[in-house]
Amino acid sequence: MITTSKPGSNFFADIPVPDDAFLRQCIHCGFCLSSCPTYALTAREISSPRGRIRMIKNIADGKTSVDEIFMHEMFFCLDCRACETACPPGVQYGALVEAARAQVERVRASQPGGSSRIKNFLLGRIFMHPARLRRAAKLLRFYQRSGLEKLALALRLPRLMGKRMMALAPMAPRIEPEFTFEKLPEKLSPRDGKIKHRVALLTGCVQDVAFASINEDTAAVLVENGCEVLAPRTQVCCGSLHGHTGDLANAKILAKKNIEVFEALAVEAIIVNAAGCGSFMKTYGHLFAEDPAMRARAEKFAASVKDISEYLTEIGFKKPPQFLTQRATYHDACHLAHGQKISQQPREIVRALAGENYVELHEASWCCGSAGIYNLTHFETSMQLLERKMKNIQASGAKVVVSGNPGCAIQLQHGSRRFGVPIEVVHPATLLRQAYDAAKK
């Protein structure tokens, strides 16, 4: 159950969190320790899920106050939710840490210079408005394609903004030549006119400008499987970037807008091809727990959200002939495997296309270090996790790595360059569309 905290505690005031009994559901058994990336790196109890939960409990009970250690730990956590998969009592750790982050942001906002102006500007002024995001993306695309980026990197100009910026600059997502709605109509139907299913597609924010081709591939695959696909232009960012970083107020604004847009379409499912987005949208009911007017609508909406691999396996997707001739493997995006409990469905797609060329990846569900914007805010830790992931990929001998999340794709592509592991990173929908096209030819 989600509710505000008990009377007398102002830590979670106005922030939806599990109720007092659920807050204490953690029995501190330690099963989460071996699954936690930050604990594996530091061996510090406070950097483990149960350690952080104890800190949250102590503050909620008024025993301690929000200090720099608490602030650091709430954001040092990747929010990968691998601990939820390992937890015997089923503690919803993600809800706890995101509520704690919201309170940390509230405390920081009350302190001079406490909040990150860059983050607040990007999340509050750019990602809240699709038109502004596309304009910013066009500027970035010009920078990348005009030769200015290449020149700036050669002259090491990003270093003028700090040593970390020089390392981060090559990780900027590559902006596509066309955005989603420049190539994808609002409605797509099967050519034979036989409509078996009617679905809507979330086009996203980063997905819209940097992975528009994946949106196009997703729509094409759905149409190939008898779906009429609606992609309303009035939709907005799902709010996951905001919610996962403690900006619940703006996350609610975006969620409410999307609920209004999509519920008017009367579709059987809302298809998402980005793991972090799908995971967050499936918790819209929790986000509006304290809003009686919105809660039921949000819960109904959340129940209709489906990851593309989840939906395709539910309806029984058309399996083309074996397509991949190179060894292929699958990397679990954290918010798909741990947040949505979806792991076998995308593997079913990859295995159908790879046959005997499929190899299971060691520690496939171990975080790659992307974790939303974690690779920007905690670059060094992120690279340690990425190195571990790339060593496992190299040991697998795979040349094709399939993953269903844009953040993971950017991170793995960077890992390929940084650690010299030549791989192609592909989304399941893209791979399936390529197989369908090859079969037609």
For the chain, the domains span 2-109, 117-171, 180-313, 321-440
Task: Quickly state the pLDDT bin for 57 (edges 50, 70, 90).
Answer: confident
Question: pLDDT band at 22, cuts 50/70/90?
Answer: low
When the pLDDT of each residue in the chain is averaged and rounded to a whole number, the result is 91
Provide the pLDDT for residue 3. 37
The full DSSP string for 402-419 is: E-S-HHHHHHHHHHHHHT
The pLDDT, as a whole number, for residue 4 is 37
* Mean pLDDT, rounded, for 284-300: 93
pLDDT at 113 (0 to 100) = 63
What is the rounded CA–CA span in Å between residue 216 and residue 233?
14
Which fold, 2-109?
Fumarate Reductase Iron-sulfur Protein; Chain B, domain 2 (1.10.1060)
Query: Distance (Å, rounded) from C-alpha 236 to C-alpha 167?
Result: 31
Please tell me the distance from the alpha carbon of residue 312 to that of residue 404, in angstroms, as a whole number.
Answer: 13
Give the pLDDT of residue 20. 65
CA 257 → CA 38, 68, 175, 254, 391, distances in Å? 35, 35, 26, 5, 42
User: H or E stretch including 2?
Assistant: strand 2-3
pLDDT score of 61? 80
Q: Residue 389's pLDDT band (boundaries 50, 70, 90)? A: very high
- One-letter amino acid of 30: G
Mean pLDDT computed over 213-232: 98
Span 155-179, average pLDDT? 87
CB atoms within 10 A of CB 66: 17
Return phi, psi of residue 150, to 5°: -60, -40
What is the pTM for the complete model shown?
A: 0.92
What local confidence, expressed as pLDDT, does residue 169 receive? Answer: 86
What is the band of 19 on the pLDDT scale with cuts at 50, 70, 90?
A: low
Asked if the model's pLDDT at residue 8 lies above 90, the reply is no
321-440: CATH topology is: Rossmann fold (3.40.50)
CATH architecture assigned to 180-313: 3-Layer(aba) Sandwich (3.40)
pLDDT on residue 141: 96
Task: Name the nearest CA neighbour of 335 among 312, 313, 316, 310.
Answer: 310
Mean of the pLDDT values across residues 211-231?
98
Looking at residue 59, what is its pLDDT?
84
* Residue 12 confidence (pLDDT) above 70: no
Q: pLDDT at residue 5 above 50?
A: no
- Whether residue 2 is predicted with pLDDT greater than 60 in this model: the reply is no
Q: Name the least confident of 57-71, 123-137, 259-273.
A: 57-71
Under 8 Å between Cβ of 331 and 368: yes
Q: Convert the pLDDT of each residue in 132-152 to its tens digit.
A: 999 999 999 999 999 999 999
* Fold agreement between 180-313 and 321-440: yes
For residue 21, is pLDDT > 70? Answer: no
> What percent of the chain is modeled with pLDDT above 70?
94
What does the pLDDT read at residue 81? Answer: 96
- Helix %, strand %, coil % of the chain (to 5): 55, 5, 35
Q: What is the pLDDT of residue 66?
A: 87
Residues 245, 358: Cα–Cα separation, whole Å? 36
